[in-house]
Amino acid sequence: MSTAQPADNRGEEAGSWGAVERLSPRTVDAHALIEDLRAELASLRRERDQLQTALDSRVVIEQAKGVLVERFRLSPDQAFSALRSGARSSRIRVHSLAAEVVASRTTPPELHAVLHPVNRR
């Protein structure tokens, strides 16, 4: 229960959470509430940043797929498979290889073996 006095003619209580206390049947521990809200905000910001990074990465991968589709007349699925195979065989991230594809007019060497396999007899 709050012991604060009204701060103005609107009936708000000075030094209290006003509406929060009215919503809760129990007394609100303001400091605990603030810490919980800060933790939740930090968690949401981390999640937002992770999602933004994933989206940015996906955009570059989609652009690289489009470049490979145009250059080599591949389907989008074939282009992604080539990126994935080239990245795995070179031990680099798909996003890094995709960025190389998008940034250059030439095909990165990591994709040559995937796109132009040596004929085996």
pTM of model > 0.85:
no
Return the domain boundaries, the chain: 19-115
Q: Mean pLDDT in runs of 10 for the chain (121 residues)?
A: 49 54 64 91 94 90 96 95 95 96 93 71 37
- For residue 82, which of 67, 68, 96, 66 has the smallest C-alpha distance? 68
Q: Phi/psi at 6 (nearest 5 deg)?
A: -55, 140
Contact 76, 86 (CB under 8 A): no
Amino acid at 104: S
- For residue 101, which of 59, 49, 65 has the smallest C-alpha distance? 65
